[in-house]
Structure 1
Amino acid sequence: MSDTTRVNNQKINWFIIQQRQKSRMTETNLSDIRYRKQQLATFKLMLENNQDELLNALYEDLGKSPEEAYVSEIAVLLQEIDFMKRELTKWQRPKRKRHVRLSSFSKTSIQHHPYGSVLIISPWNYPLHLALLPAIGAIAAGNSCFIKPSEYAPATAKLLAQLVENYFSPDSLVVVTGDASVASDLLELPWDFIFFTGSKKVGSIVYEAAAAKQIPIVLELGGKNPCIVDETNLTPAVVQRIIWGKFLNAGQTCIAPDTVYVHESVYDKFLQLAADQIKAFYGSQPIHPSRFGRIAHDKQVEKIVGYLKQGKIYYGGHVDTTNRFIEPTLLTDIPADSPILREEIFGPILPVIPYSDLATLVRQLKSFPDPLAVYVFSKDKKSIQFLKSELRSGAFSLNQVILHAVSSHSPFGGVGASGFGRYHGMASLDTFSYLRMDYENLLPFNIQKQYPPYQSNDINLLRKWRRWLF
């Protein structure tokens, strides 16, 4: 069998499964919350029964310690499942209203309805979390899903495909593994909704494919998330939060504080505290596999190593390309035109830049694309309000990093270059369903002034009774 024939057969098989998922929309009472909750319970069972295997796969792909992998990948999913199961009945209730007007007496009912078959394309940095969290939302909203995990996290992708096949019917959930060509082939199918998490470059390709078929889409992209530390709020606890957030998952986090801007009066103190905190977290030899993760693939290692040459290494800088290890690094004295100050790093390098004037810093940051998050550590209310009003981002987080993005109570997403659309909790139901309004007119007769032919004085009557017309 030729490669072309094999690919065509594969596409046909996907199409058949997708059409079964679509037809299931009419065969199954998807408004039955009990059914959706059963699906969520299956997700939870799959995760709880296979934790060791999942942790091993995450370690194989990214060198994640069991503790970090559990908190950032599995626990987040379990929290989302519990929250969705608890709140779904309330969220799904129809919103009913009655309207009395001059020409009508009507009632309306507004309710969330699932789109149908959803394609989820997920990245390699959190290969379990970012594949399943949108799928949990999509299925809670009544949809069926295909998940295309990243080929750069092969162990997790393979295990996820096996587990989903064991726990779910293809009519509900399918995992398709493979490289970028597989994702490209999947994009040719007539999806009802697409959810993409990844780079801006690939996101643009997915967006164009969706636009060509008028498919609604969410893009969760990256960005350079600035972290501003002013002279009013530099403490060891503040530095501990920033260092944790930056070097979580070896810096491969789309909402990591990408660059820290520190007021010049506390700049030296910040650097010393940051170096001390890295040692406290990871020891003097973080290459030990239980202490620090690995970069996902060789191409990303090459990119990050290039960044190391764009400034002065204040702390760290050790590289082991064979094992895809880069030491947690603080970088200083970076020329203003260096790419590292404009490109998302996505690795364990933290540029630390001094600033003297907040307004000047804001003008500089406003010249960059909109980030997923802005982090501010300050006690100055005037400065905080100024930064809130001047900087556009998906989120503004005061005196903390990362945690705003893992709460089921808070919608997560970007703006502008960092993406569009929101999910988590109620926002997932809003995203993965559309609102349908059912309308019923209860007035048994017509008001003739509403219809042609109109008389000379009718316009004055319409003006007088305008607020009661509709």
Structure 2
Amino acid sequence: MTDLLLSRCGFREVFSTFSEVCCPNLSEWKGDFIRPSVFTMSREQVVVERARRAFQTGRSKPLDFRIQQLKKLQSFICERQKDITDALRRDLSKNEFVSELFETLVLEAELKLTISRLADWAAPRPVEKNLLTLTDEAYVKPEPLGLVLIIGPWNYPWALTLLPLVGAIAAGNAVVIKPSEISLNSSNVMEEYLPQYIDKDLYPVVTGGAAETQELLKQKFDHIFYTGSSSVGKLVMEAAARHLTPVTLELGGKSPCYIDKNCDITTACRRITWGKLTNCGQTCIAPDYVLCESVVQSRVLEEIKKSIKEFYTDNPKVSDDYGRIVSQRHFKRLMGLMEGSTVAFGGDVDESQLYIGPTVLEGVTSESRVMKEEIFGPLLPIITVDGVEEAIQFINDREKPLVLYVFSYDKKLIKRMLAETSSGALLANDCLVHFIDSALPFGGVGHSGMGRYRGRHSFDLLSNLRSCLIKQLHLERVNSMRYPPHNSRRLGWARFFLLTQISLRRLGYVLAMLAALSAFLVQKYLRQD
């Protein structure tokens, strides 16, 4: 363990951190030796304690510092674009255009928005008053939570790891960043270069696999933000419960896609194909399966096939826009999911390249293996239903999805889907694009996750929205209604003050109108004189 600490952190760095953490009073140290017990702390503990102590200095709180760090993060993304795209090509076979479109461009937009709006978001927020607080100062003051742990995913290792980091920095927190070890090249680039741009003590990067993640989860944080599978999400939540740490879980699930038989089938299938096959299907909000009536099934299959050819040519394997499965384990998992279903078209594979071609499955039922878990790959099952009512029942019989897609001209049908189902989001007549609107809070419900982020929602999520009421030491007669001895008269006054509904905004308008009327009457009176 000692060798590991010295090699990863450096002797002086380790000694300095342990001196602060374990022995703040250096006079306790006897002689020029290091106690062996000091080195019982793991590397993860060292990093966490260093980050917490950096936060306790208060340097992450001033708005100028937060904006400076966000601008440095902007510089990192801009100046290291080539390193990022090279890593994504090695991890997921993403070309430079796809990398920028789906990874760094959304980060640039989030940073630009956050920097421009941060002063407004962080300002005290006045609240409505009632009769009892009419003369008081009442507001909500956002303040940092403290130390945040961000555990990133492998499918979009830059966007989905650094987007919550933007919100955490903006809110004034310290952050331990744990990128996924599955997207190893991206993880290594993040570890090597990010500390060269932003404060390395406040925002350290910890790399490694399950063992390192488990060690981090043993530590106490003030918030944990995890993006990944529901099975690991349960473990994260269980670990967080030991410290009563709040969590944000961005999970996923089986997002259904209903196609109304009377809609524009060609456009619908084009957008569904794009949404499904982006990143080779390895997207948490990808359409997981299609529900449609049997009378349009053959048309749906035909249009999806045409869209695949349009996007990726007759041979997607040689298309620079078509990715690969991230690992051997996920490749084998996807191959197993196809068992028992009929391949309508596609199904070509090359294990040596971790390639699975765009594949549409038919003859799929609720009992098919492919319907037992989130697919997270380029397989698209088609399930036939008798109409919207059966589709709604099919959806409601399963866990609540991260997003529900519906394609229809009929606004009443869309509103019925909205009213009779539950999901993290509903998107009509398109796929994926709701994620790019930072005004829409992104997140799941139930099995698909908890907590919402993007834009101001990230700032609020990772802030303590502190309620503040500043009263004056007068008007004691009004306050006496709450003091013993209690009687019916005091209760009557309490009922009046608590139950009387009054709009202070309207009251302000009335007072302004009365003031204007008074001024007018005074002017008129003076003229008469």
TM-score normalised by structure 2 residue count:
0.84
- Change in 2 beyond 3 A, CA 1:251/1:453: same
Q: Contact 1:257–1:375 (CA<8 Å) still a contact in 2?
A: yes
- Match in the other structure for 2:388: 358
- Match in the other structure for 1:325: 355
The equivalent position to 2:115 in structure 1, one of 72, 75, 85, is 85
Counting helix residues as a fraction of each chain, which structure ranks higher?
Answer: 2
Q: Using the TM superposition, give the Cα deviation of residue 38 of structure 1 relative to its aligned residue in structure 2, in angstroms.
A: 1.0
Query: What letter is aligned with 2:363?
Result: D
Q: Using the TM superposition, give the Cα deviation of residue 99 of structure 1 relative to its aligned residue in structure 2, in angstroms.
A: 5.0
Query: What letter is aligned with 1:128?
Result: W
Query: What letter is aligned with 2:441?
Result: P
Question: 1:97 & 1:303 partners in 2: Cα distance?
Answer: 52
Q: Contact 2:5–2:43 (CA<8 Å) still a contact in 1?
A: no
Query: What letter is aligned with 1:433?
Result: S
- Match in the other structure for 2:484: 452
Question: 1:100 & 1:74 partners in 2: Cα distance?
Answer: 46
Identity within the alignment, %:
35
TM-score normalised by structure 1 residue count:
0.94
Question: 1:127 & 1:466 partners in 2: Cα distance?
Answer: 51
- Change in 2 beyond 3 A, CA 1:309/1:106: same
- Match in the other structure for 1:381: 411
Question: 1:398 & 1:71 partners in 2: Cα distance?
Answer: 22
Q: Contact 2:312–2:319 (CA<8 Å) still a contact in 1?
A: no
The equivalent position to 1:272 in structure 2, one of 298, 302, 306, is 302
SS at match of 2:394: helix
Query: What letter is aligned with 2:356?
Result: I
SS at match of 1:105: coil
Q: Using the TM superposition, give the Cα deviation of residue 445 of structure 1 relative to its aligned residue in structure 2, in angstroms.
A: 4.8
Query: What letter is aligned with 1:93?
Result: A
The equivalent position to 1:227 in structure 2, one of 239, 249, 257, is 257
The answer to which of 183-192 and 24-33 deviates more is 24-33
Question: 2:442 & 2:133 partners in 1: Cα distance?
Answer: 43
- Match in the other structure for 1:210: 240
- Match in the other structure for 1:169: 199
The answer to which of 149-158 and 264-273 deviates more is 264-273
Question: 1:10 & 1:300 partners in 2: Cα distance?
Answer: 36
SS at match of 1:147: strand
Q: Contact 2:60–2:174 (CA<8 Å) still a contact in 1?
A: no
Question: 2:328 & 2:65 partners in 1: Cα distance?
Answer: 43
The answer to which of 379-388 and 150-159 deviates more is 379-388
Query: What letter is aligned with 1:146?
Result: V
Question: 2:475 & 2:258 partners in 1: Cα distance?
Answer: 65
- Change in 2 beyond 3 A, CA 1:301/1:438: same
- Change in 2 beyond 3 A, CA 1:9/1:43: farther
Counterparts of 1:252-401 in structure 2, within 5 Å, are 252-288=282-318, 290-401=320-431
The answer to which of 92-101 and 299-308 deviates more is 92-101
Residues 86-119 of structure 1, C-alpha deviations (whole Å, 9 max, x = no match): 1111111111358574698321231111111110
When the two structures are aligned, how many residues end up with a matched partner? Answer: 470
Question: 1:274 & 1:71 partners in 2: Cα distance?
Answer: 23
Residues 232-263 of structure 1, C-alpha deviations (whole Å, 9 max, x = no match): 21332221111010000000000000101122
Q: Contact 1:11–1:185 (CA<8 Å) still a contact in 2?
A: no
In structure 2, stretches of 5+ residues that fail to align are: 9-37, 502-529
- Look at both structures and tell me which one has the larger radius of gyration over its CA atoms: 2
Q: Contact 2:144–2:462 (CA<8 Å) still a contact in 1?
A: yes
Question: 1:409 & 1:461 partners in 2: Cα distance?
Answer: 43
SS at match of 1:408: coil
Query: Structure with the greater relative contact order (CA < 8 A, sep ≥ 6): 1 or 2?
Result: 1
Question: 1:195 & 1:414 partners in 2: Cα distance?
Answer: 13
The equivalent position to 2:222 in structure 1, one of 184, 192, 195, is 192
Question: 2:446 & 2:238 partners in 1: Cα distance?
Answer: 16
- Change in 2 beyond 3 A, CA 1:236/1:104: closer
SS at match of 1:28: coil
Query: What letter is aligned with 1:309?
Result: E
Question: 1:433 & 1:194 partners in 2: Cα distance?
Answer: 13
- 1:180 paired with 2:214, answer no
The equivalent position to 2:97 in structure 1, one of 51, 67, 89, is 67
Q: Using the TM superposition, give the Cα deviation of residue 286 of structure 1 relative to its aligned residue in structure 2, in angstroms.
A: 1.3
Residues 55-110 of structure 1, C-alpha deviations (whole Å, 9 max, x = no match): 01001011112111111111111111111111111111111358574698321231
